[in-house]
Structure 1
Amino acid sequence: MQNFDSLQTELLYYAFYFGGSVVMLVLFAIIYMAITPYDEIALIRKGSGAAALSFGGTIIGFSLPLAASAIYNTGFLPFVIWSVVAMLVQIAGYFVMVKVIGNVPEHIRLNNMAVGGLLGITGLVLGIINTGILS
């Protein structure tokens, strides 16, 4: 019976952290789409590879520290705090790249794959660094 109780507890923690991760991921996606001056989803629906690379790389980059936070934090509140920190890093990274590249909204609207790819890779790199720091 002890093993069954342990399994139930583990499944409960799994559901809690998985649900929390999905909520944080959706929240980040909503915030990210709100700060960018273009509609990623509409552009992706029209076949924009630049928007897909930019958004997809950033989402993957954000999910990495989420996973690390779930692994290395023993409480749900620290998990949430580090998830918010990871959000802020991703958002700051976007604004830095906007300054470095210049005219990013127009590049994305014109499906400039180089710019979309660089934004996505930046999000991914920031996520990798965040993950390393959390572990």
Structure 2
Amino acid sequence: MLASISGLGAFLAYGATAAILVAAYLIIYMLATAHDELALIRRGVTAAAIALGGSLLAFTLPLAVAIHNAQGLLDCAIWGLVALVVQMGVYWAVRAALPNLSGQIAAGETAPAVFLAAASLAAGVVNAAAMTY
């Protein structure tokens, strides 16, 4: 039994690091947007849930790869921050292409939210694949 839980310490350390990075990502992302995702989601605005959910999945894909490939917690954190920067870049690129993105999401328009989620996921998949260090 002890052999099967020998990795528990590393599991907890990487899990805590991931939780901190996810929390940081969500805070930074929600500060960057011109709309209040959580308030919109609480009101049942599907577009906000699609955009935020897609972005969160897109961030955690490369984060999972960073955890898998990491040589240590610092290495994991650095590559997690790289994933964060990439995702924020995607958000700003989509916002440049769709200047009224936040207004459309707040109004419940799903097309821009789906596009943002898809762009985020595409970048997250490529970002994860590129983490071959």
- What TM-score results when the alignment is normalised by the length of structure 2? 0.94
Computing the radius of gyration over CA atoms, which structure comes out larger, 1 or 2?
1
**Where does 1:1-135 land on structure 2 (aligned, <5 Å)?**
4=2, 6-135=3-132
Q: CA RMSD in A?
A: 1.2
* CA positional deviation for 1:9: 3.8
**Structure 1 residue 7 displacement after superposition:** 4.2
Cα offsets for 1:35-82 (capped at 9, x unmatched): 101100000111111110000000000001110001011111110000
Displacement after TM superposition at 1:33 (Å): 0.2
Structure 2: give runs of 5+ residues left out of the alignment: none
- TM-score normalised over the length of structure 1: 0.93
Distance 1:15 1:113 in 2: 37
1:88-118 CA distances to partner (integer Å, 9 max, x unpaired)?
Answer: 0000100000111221111111111000111
C-alpha distance in structure 1 between counterparts of 2:17 and 2:73, whole Å: 9
Work out the CA distance in 2 between the residues paired with 1:87 and 1:9.
31
Alpha-carbon distance in structure 2 between the residues aligned to 1:9 and 1:20: 19
In 1, Cα distance between the equivalents of 2:8 and 2:31? 34
Higher helix share: 1
CA distance in 1, matches of 2:19, 2:4: 22
Percent identical pairs in the alignment equals: 30
Equivalent position amino acid for 1:100 in 2: A
Corresponding residue pairs, total: 132
- Gapped regions of structure 1 (runs ≥ 5): none
